[in-house]
């Protein structure tokens, strides 16, 4: 067997082994959802059984859809690799370019056509799955609020979301006081109308250096006369204190440094592999070595084992950062209210409080709700 064939089948085998491992973990997690009958002891006083069961049904439905989508994607990728879909699309892009009397020396133009066609194909293939997830699964559980195409929520609506300053009042004063206490350079506080698109709740901050802004989803705020939805002022402060914990420990900066180091290493490997003809031959490119194709083969296939290890490390680091942010809020005296907020947001977003340990270690960037409750509910707050 030639070296190029060894490379191809080794990577092909790894891709399938990784898929089977992921599916095994997904199966274990689906078993957790199906076995959800009784609320965990730590949550029985605060989490209604009806909400617990509803969350398990919601998550199980998503998990089943994800499993089907993963199988479809794996079979699709297998067909593309075995049938030479990548070199075919590259040659087709070249023929399309030549119809305008441009030759193979116009590699950048051919690469642009290749990217356009590949992106269009990917969008068309993924659209039915996205539509079903949004208009069937999310609609069935009361989260979808769109009237437009499915990409509206993720790509178009955020461009037109209405950001309004948080009105003067006790909540604004409390947030400003918290920011001042932590020397957080807060300049503005906004409320965004996320409820137009989804019933999910969230909060975040953004900005550079000494120009930070806090954004609250309107679904996070309690409306007058309705205490069932949204969080109380103390709970909102606890959530923000958690987010400010990330700022205090410079988690965002650490993530950026980690990602940049990884990117540098990947491009270093790309530079090396671009001069390796056997990699191109393994995927059907025997006489030409386009830079774009080299990037595709390197980042998507040749670096697949490395990317898997880095992804696992990134998940572990993120989970550690979330624990640190929780403990920061607890140390600031917001532990009890953070617990209440986590429970409320978990119920609002139909999050499930438990996970298979192996699945959680591999996938979850946050500890499960049950893990966070146990960590926050231990010793007395400082």
Residues with a known catalytic role:
243, 326
Is 141 known to sit in a ligand binding site? no
Q: What whole-number distance in Å separates Cα of residue 314 and Cα of residue 51? A: 31
User: What burial class does residue 200 get, using C-beta atoms within 10 Å of its C-beta: 0-12 exposed, 13-18 middle, 19+ buried?
Assistant: middle
Which pair of tokens denotes residue 64? Answer: 């089943």
Length of the chain: 382
Phi then psi for residue 151, to 5 deg, are -75, -10
Phi then psi for residue 57, to 5 deg, are -65, -45
User: What burial class does residue 107 get, using C-beta atoms within 10 Å of its C-beta: 0-12 exposed, 13-18 middle, 19+ buried?
Assistant: middle
Q: What whole-number distance in Å separates Cα of residue 328 and Cα of residue 245? A: 6
Is 37 known to sit in a ligand binding site? no
Return the axis-axis angle of helices 304-329 and 369-376, rounded to nearest 10°.
Answer: 40
Is 242 known to sit in a ligand binding site? yes
Which pair of tokens denotes residue 39? Answer: 């609320």
Binding-site residues for Zn(2+): 242, 246, 322
């Amino acid at each position: 067997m030639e070296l190029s064939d060894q490379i191809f089948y080794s990577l092909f085998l790894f891709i399938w082994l990784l898929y089977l491992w992921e599916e095994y973990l997904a199966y274990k997690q689906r078993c957790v959802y199906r076995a959800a009958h009784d609320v965990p002891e730590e949550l029985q006083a605060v989490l209604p059984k009806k909400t617990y069961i509803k969350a398990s049904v919601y998550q199980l439905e998503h998990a089943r859809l994800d499993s089907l989508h993963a199988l479809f994607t794996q079979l699709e990728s297998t067909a593309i690799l075995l049938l030479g879909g990548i070199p075919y699309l590259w040659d087709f892009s070249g023929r399309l370019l030549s119809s305008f009397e441009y030759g193979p020396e116009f590699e950048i133009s051919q690469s642009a056509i290749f990217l356009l066609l590949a992106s269009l194909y990917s969008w068309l293939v993924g659209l039915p799955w996205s539509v079903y997830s949004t208009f069937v699964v999310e609609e069935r559980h009361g989260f979808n609020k769109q009237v437009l195409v499915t990409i509206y929520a993720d790509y178009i609506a955020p461009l037109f979301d209405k950001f309004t300053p948080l009105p003067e009042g006790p909540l604004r004063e409390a947030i400003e006081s918290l920011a001042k206490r932590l020397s957080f350079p807060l300049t503005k506080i906004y409320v965004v109308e996320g409820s137009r698109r989804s019933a999910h709740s969230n909060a975040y901050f953004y900005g550079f250096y000494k120009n930070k802004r806090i954004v609250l989803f309107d679904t996070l705020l309690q409306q007058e006369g309705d205490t069932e939805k949204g969080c109380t002022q103390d709970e909102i402060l606890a959530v923000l204190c958690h987010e400010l914990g990330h700022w205090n420990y410079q988690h965002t900066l650490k993530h950026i440094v980690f990602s940049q180091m990884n990117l540098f290493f990947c491009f270093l490997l790309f530079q090396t592999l671009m001069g390796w003809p056997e990699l191109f031959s393994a995927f059907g490119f025997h006489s030409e070595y386009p830079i774009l194709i080299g990037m595709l083969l390197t980042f998507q296939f040749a670096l697949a084992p490395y990317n898997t290890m880095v992804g696992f490390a990134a998940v572990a680091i993120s989970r550690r950062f979330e624990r640190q942010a929780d403990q920061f809020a607890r140390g600031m005296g917001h532990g009890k209210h953070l617990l209440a907020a986590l429970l409320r947001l978990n119920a609002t977003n139909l999050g499930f409080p438990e996970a298979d340990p192996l699945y959680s270690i591999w996938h979850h960037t946050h500890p499960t709700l049950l893990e966070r409750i146990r960590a926050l509910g231990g010793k007395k707050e400082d």
